[in-house]
Amino acid sequence: MRSKVVFRRLLRNKQARYGFIALLLLVALAYVGPYFGAYDWQEKDFMAFMSAPDADHWWGTTSIGQDMYAVTLRGMQKSIIIGLLVAVISTGVAAIVGAFAGYFGGWVDKVLMWGVDLLLVLPSFLIIAIISPKLRDGTWWWFVVLLAAFSWMITSRVVRSMTLSLREREYVLAAVYMGIPRWKIILRHIVPNLASLLIIDATLNVSGAIIGEAALSFFGFGIQPPDVSLGTLIAEGSRNATGYPWLFAFPAGLLVALVLSVNLIGDGLRDALDPGSNS
Amino acid sequence: MGKYLLRRLAINVILVAIAASLAYMLAATTMNPRAAYEGRQPPVPEATIDATLDAYNLNDKTPVLTRYATWAKGVVTGDFGKTWNGGSVNQEMGRRVMVSLRLLLIGTLLGFALGVALGAFSAVKQYKLSDRLIGVTSFVIMAIPVFVLATLLAIATYNLNRGLGFTLIEYTGEYNPQLSGWDQFVNRLNHLILPTISLSLGSIAFYSRIQRNMMLDVLGQDFVRTAMAKGLRRRKALTKHALRTALIPSATYFAFAFGTMFTGATFTEKIFNWHGMGAWLVDSINQNDVNSVAAVTFFAAVCVLAAAFLSDLLVAALDPRVRVS
């Protein structure tokens, strides 16, 4: 079985192994960690504003007395969820659009690729920056949708060009002659054969989305208060990072660790799935 | 060829027009420039606000389409309108493009040159300690977002300056306006150090990885062996034959980076307090400055498309296979 071979290769790959271990630890910290902390992330300790890390507040407190440990883990949960959702949505859209455009050709292809070109030229930063603060009352779901909407285009072009060659393969032609509907051929025969590309892309999209979220939140265009994410925490921390380093160090360090571990997995996956790569 | 270029130009003009129009519509319908005048003490009469906003083509009482028509008429003749407080968008843009250029030129060039050199070096030394070291370092640097990196640099400099007791490296702004002549030039260079490091580290890491992969592909190929077999020195064979061919992908990325250089670097500009194009985008959104938002978008779209064109041209010039097809 191919999947077994790939899995074994992945386990043998040192990068992927370390990446997986690191990611598991980070996810565990984000979701299990809060149960060990003494404070809830919304709780405010009026006896300790901006206090340095000590036995009571492990990672110090913020300017309004929130426990940095609880707040940071809460922000990390949000960043992880946003990263995963955006990656899954954008890779899924890329696969569907690219495969349909490549398989159908003709005017479907033209219209879809024109849409891709248009989305590439549109100022995504500006559009998200203007729209997402207006959704203050709305949930962060909208933010996920917006981020995903602007991150699938380049992959869909790659998928399209690969579909063009896949559709001439014998098994696809056989399916056509057996009278299987075209949408079924795309979903059953074309997309699964692009799986390795899509898995790698989805993984790297996770780290891209986490950074994208943090970047937009850094300017206040992303997650809106009172909700927190690693981006909003880093933005707040970097404002007075020289005087109160713990406000900056913990969220920034965790963000880098998160991105690094996801990238390690992505690189390991590429080695295991794509025999042509040489890194 | 001429026909192809013309068609491409036409498509690009349409794309720029759509992008800019959409940005204008979005900004004009959601932003509220009136807010900047309404909250003043002493209060400004509404008729005065209306007259001011009308003069700047920002009045939300005028239908959006009318405002859009006025704006588009101006843009076609090369006038991007007024900022929220009545300044000329054109002048502001000219000034800010130069700021971004002064900030980014050195960083872009340095990033490309050092990145390519490091990548080629690490390919030649494949699997040796130096290759591993370069690989791991660039991997880690690529995982650090630029706003974290820039803040780290600023903290380090702050501590360094405090430890020394005087300001060795400046970390905010573009220059000290009190100095003049040679002193000011040196001061400007000093202000450039930190932003340049924070900009170029990322691109050094990026280029070095691409360059290493390409170089490894090329090193195994026949023409490099032939070059050595006919008696060329190793150094010469590597630089003249291998590196030159392996440069194509990095060069196309570089052409793209060079073209988009004019749009500025949002994070670096904001964190180190430079008032360039990137900072303008964020500032104009925060100030409800409709015409500036549209102008930045227009300019960015033009730059991206021109950069894409530039990198295509460069591939055609460097790669004989592309020219033939």
With an 8 Å Cβ cutoff, are A118 and B301 in contact? no
Instruction: Give the closest of B22, B151, B159 to A122, CB-based.
Output: B22
| Chain A residue with minimum CA distance to B286 | A130
A92 in Cβ contact with A153 (< 8 Å)? no
Reported as a single tens digit per residue, the pLDDT across A215-252 is: 888 888 878 777 888 888 898 888 887 778 888 888 99
> pLDDT category, A136, cuts 50, 70, 90?
low
Residue that wins the pLDDT comparison between B126 and A123 = B126
**Least confidently predicted of A89-103, A251-265, B275-289:** B275-289
DSSP state of B21: H
> Which residue of A lies nearest to B267 if distances are taken between CA atoms?
A215
Q: Distance of alpha carbon A203 from its chain centroid, rounded?
A: 7
Q: What is the mean pLDDT of residues B238-255?
A: 84
| Closest chain A C-alpha to B297 CA, distance in angstroms | 6
Which of A64-68, A172-176, B318-322 shows the lowest per-residue confidence on average (mean pLDDT)?
B318-322
Q: What is the mean pLDDT of residues B238-265?
A: 83
**Gap between the Cα atoms of A67 and A55, Å rounded:** 12
Q: Above 60 in pLDDT, residue B324?
A: no
Alpha-carbon gap, residue B148 to A257, rounded angstroms: 12
CB-based burial, B184-213: b 16+ in 10 Å, e otherwise: eeebeebbbbbbbbbbbbbbbbbbbbbbbb
Q: Who among B15, B217, B281 is closest to A126 (CB)?
A: B281
pLDDT exceeds cutoff 70 at A138: no
Q: How confident is the model at residue A278 (pLDDT cuts 50, 70, 90)?
A: very low
Question: If we measure between CA atoms, which residue out of A217, A241, A244, A71 comes closest to residue A146?
Answer: A217
Confidence at A279, pLDDT banded by 50, 70, 90: very low
For residues A91 and B39, the model is more confident at: A91
For the record, the structure tokens of B113 come out as 């040159």
Phi, psi of B221 (to 5 degrees): -90, 165
Distances in Å between the Cα of B254 and the Cα atoms of A207, B17, B115, B262 are 24, 26, 11, 14
CA distance B176 to chain A (A): 22
How far apart CA B198 and CA B271 sit, in angstroms, is 11
d(CA B281, CA A126): 8
* B210 at A interface, C-beta within 8 A: no
Instruction: Please provide the average confidence, as pLDDT, over all residues in chain B.
Output: 85
Q: Which two tokens stand for residue A206?
A: 């996770």
| A126 in contact with chain B, both atoms CB, cutoff 8 A | yes
Closest chain B residue to the Cα of A252, Cα to Cα: B148
Q: Report CA B221 to chain centroid distance, whole Å.
A: 36
pLDDT at A187 exceeding the cut of 50: yes
pLDDT of residue B183: 85
Q: Which of B140, B213, B305 comes nearest A260 by C-beta?
A: B140
pLDDT digits (tens, 9 = 90+) for B156-195: 888 888 888 888 888 777 888 888 788 888 888 888 888 9
Cis peptide before A192 (omega within 30 of 0): no
- Give the pLDDT mean for A75-102: 92
Determine the distance in angstroms separating the CA of A209 from the nearest CA of chain B, rounded to an integer.
Answer: 12
Shortest CA distance to B293 belongs to which of B13, B17, B18, B21?
A: B21
A41 phi and psi angles, rounded to 5 deg: -70, -20
Mean pLDDT of A118-122: 80
Q: Which residue has the higher pLDDT, A148 or A42?
A: A148
Do the Cβ atoms of A211 and B145 come within 8 Å?
A: yes
Superfamily of domain A2-40+59-273 in the CATH hierarchy: MetI-like (1.10.3720.10)
Does pTM top 0.80 for this prediction? yes
Does B159 sit within 8 Å of A121, measured CB to CB?
no
Could you report the per-residue pLDDT of B1-31, keeping only the tens digit for each? 678 778 888 888 888 888 888 888 888 888 8
pLDDT tens, position by position, A16-67: 888 899 999 999 998 888 888 777 777 777 777 777 777 777 787 777 778 8
Q: Report, in this order, helix, strand and coil percent for chain A, each rounded to 5.
A: 75, 0, 25
Chain centre distance of CA A254: 15
DSSP letter for A140, please: T
Residue A148 has pLDDT above 70, yes or no: yes
- Inter-helix orientation angle B290-318/B89-124, to 10°: 40
Q: CB pairs under 8 A, 24+ apart, for B135-142?
A: B135/B209, B135/B212, B137/B205, B138/B204, B138/B205, B138/B206, B138/B208, B138/B209, B139/A260, B139/A263, B139/A264, B139/A267, B139/B205, B139/B209, B140/A260, B141/B201, B141/B202, B141/B204, B141/B205, B142/A263, B142/B202, B142/B205, B142/B206, B142/B209
Q: Does pLDDT of B113 surpass 90?
A: yes
- Half-sphere exposure in the Cβ direction for B239 (13 Å, CA): 4
Assess whether pLDDT exceeds 90 at residue A92: yes
CA atoms within 13 A on the CB side of A22: 18
Span A172-201, average pLDDT: 88
Is the pLDDT confidence value at B310 over 90? no
Residues of chain B contacting A127 with CB distance shorter than 8 Å: 23, 26
Q: How many CA atoms lie within 13 A of A225 on its CB side?
A: 9
In chain B the domains, ranked by start, together with CATH numbers, are 96-286 (1.10.3720.10)
